[in-house]
Structure 1
Amino acid sequence: MNTAALDSLKSSVSGLETISKYRRIAIAVGLDAALSNSKTAMSLLRYRGEHCLAVIDPAHCGKTTQELYGVGGNTPVVASLSDVDTPDALFIGISPPGGQMPEDLSLVITEGVQHGLDVVSGLHDFLVDNEVFCQEAERSGSLLIDVRRNQHRKTATCADFRPGCLRIHAVGQDCSVGKMVTMLELERGLQKRQADAKFLATGQTGIMVVGNGVPVDCVVSDFVNGAVEELVLQNEQHEILLIEGQGSITHPAFSAVTLGLLHGCAPQGLIFCYEAARPHVKGLPHVPLKTLERYRELYEQLASERFPAEFVGVAMNGRNISAAQGEIEKQQVQELLGLPVCDVYRDGPAVLVDAVLGLKERMST
Structure 2
Amino acid sequence: MLELQPYSVEQSLRSHRAITLLTQGFSNLFVAKTAISMLRYRGADIVAILDDQVDETNAAELFQVSGEFGQIPVAKEIPKDSDALYIGIAPPGGKLPSEWRPVVLNAIRMKMDIVSGLHDFLSADPEFVALAEANDVQLIDVRQNQITEIATGQPFRPDCLRILSVGQDCSVGKMVATLEVNRGLVERGFDSQFLASGQTGIMITGTGVPVDCVAADFANGAVEDLVRRNDQHDFVLVEGQGSISHPAFSAVTLGLLHGCRPDGMIFCYEAGRQQIKGLNDLDLPSIASQMNALETMANLLNESRFIGVAVNTRMLTPDDAKAEVARIEQEFGLPACDVYRDGADKLVDACIALKQDKGIAQ
TM-score, length-scaled by structure 2: 0.95
Q: Which moved more, 1:111-120 or 1:26-35?
A: 26-35
Instruction: State how far apart, in whole Å, the 2-side matches of 1:57 and 1:265 are.
Output: 39
What is the DSSP-based 3-state SS (H/G/I as helix, E as strand, rest coil) of the residue aligned with 1:361?
helix
How far 1:285 moved relative to its partner? 1.2
Q: Which residue of 1 aligns with 2:248?
A: 253
- Residue 47 of structure 2 is aligned to residue 53 of structure 1: yes
Percent identity of paired positions between Structure 1 and Structure 2: 48
Instruction: State how far apart, in whole Å, the 1-side matches of 2:28 and 2:176 are.
Output: 20
| 8 Å contact from structure 2 (residues 83, 113) kept in 1 | yes
Q: Which residue of 2 aligns with 1:270?
A: 265
- Residue 149 of structure 2 is aligned to residue 140 of structure 1: no
Q: 1:362 aligns with which of 333, 347, 357?
A: 357
Which one has a larger percent helix, Structure 1 or Structure 2? 1
Instruction: State how far apart, in whole Å, the 1-side matches of 2:55 and 2:151 are.
Output: 47
Q: Which residue of 1 aligns with 2:286?
A: 291
| 8 Å contact from structure 1 (residues 14, 149) kept in 2 | no
- Residue 75 of structure 2 is aligned to residue 78 of structure 1: yes
Letter in 1 for 2:10: L
What is the DSSP-based 3-state SS (H/G/I as helix, E as strand, rest coil) of the residue aligned with 1:35?
coil
What is the DSSP-based 3-state SS (H/G/I as helix, E as strand, rest coil) of the residue aligned with 1:106?
helix
RMSD: 1.3
Q: 1:323 aligns with which of 309, 318, 324?
A: 318
Instruction: State how far apart, in whole Å, the 2-side matches of 1:176 and 1:124 are.
Output: 17
Instruction: State how far apart, in whole Å, the 1-side matches of 2:64 and 2:253 are.
Output: 29
Q: Which residue of 1 aligns with 2:125?
A: 130
- Residue 98 of structure 2 is aligned to residue 103 of structure 1: yes
Instruction: State how far apart, in whole Å, the 1-side matches of 2:344 and 2:29 are.
Output: 25
Q: Which residue of 1 aligns with 2:59?
A: 65
What is the DSSP-based 3-state SS (H/G/I as helix, E as strand, rest coil) of the residue aligned with 1:58?
coil
Q: Which moved more, 1:241-250 or 1:292-301?
A: 292-301
What is the DSSP-based 3-state SS (H/G/I as helix, E as strand, rest coil) of the residue aligned with 1:98?
coil
How far 1:291 moved relative to its partner? 1.1
- Residue 146 of structure 2 is aligned to residue 151 of structure 1: yes
| 8 Å contact from structure 1 (residues 167, 268) kept in 2 | yes
Instruction: State how far apart, in whole Å, the 2-side matches of 1:288 and 1:14 are.
Output: 45
- Residue 242 of structure 2 is aligned to residue 238 of structure 1: no
Q: 1:228 aligns with which of 223, 227, 241?
A: 223
- Residue 3 of structure 2 is aligned to residue 19 of structure 1: no
Letter in 1 for 2:248: A
Letter in 2 for 1:40: T
The list of structure 1 runs, each at least 4 consecutive aligned residues, that deviate by more than 6 angstroms after superposition, is 11-14
Instruction: State how far apart, in whole Å, the 2-side matches of 1:294 and 1:165 are.
Output: 29
Deviations 1:303-339 (A, max 9, x none): 1111110000000000011110011111111111110
Deviations 1:342-363 (A, max 9, x none): 0000001001000000001111
Matches within 5 A, 1:160-239: 160-239=155-234
Letter in 2 for 1:26: T
Deviations 1:173-207 (A, max 9, x none): 00000000001111111111101110000000000
> Any stretches of 5+ residues in structure 2 without a counterpart?
none
- Residue 87 of structure 2 is aligned to residue 89 of structure 1: no
Letter in 1 for 2:180: E
Over 3 Å counting, the alpha-carbon distance change for 1:29 and 1:337 in structure 2 is same
Matches within 5 A, 1:339-354: 339-354=334-349
Aligned residue pair count: 353
Instruction: State how far apart, in whole Å, the 1-side matches of 2:36 and 2:256 are.
Output: 24
Instruction: State how far apart, in whole Å, the 2-side matches of 1:157 and 1:206 are.
Output: 25
Q: 2:331 aligns with which of 330, 336, 341?
A: 336
What is the DSSP-based 3-state SS (H/G/I as helix, E as strand, rest coil) of the residue aligned with 1:364?
coil
How far 1:123 moved relative to its partner? 0.3
Q: 1:40 aligns with which of 34, 37, 49?
A: 34
How far 1:107 moved relative to its partner? 1.5
Letter in 1 for 2:25: L
Deviations 1:79-136 (A, max 9, x none): 121xx24011111100001100001222111101111101100000101111111111
How far 1:58 moved relative to its partner? 1.4
Instruction: State how far apart, in whole Å, the 1-side matches of 2:234 and 2:323 are.
Output: 35
How far 1:32 moved relative to its partner? 3.9
Deviations 1:15-64 (A, max 9, x none): 23320111110111122444301011001100000110000011225421
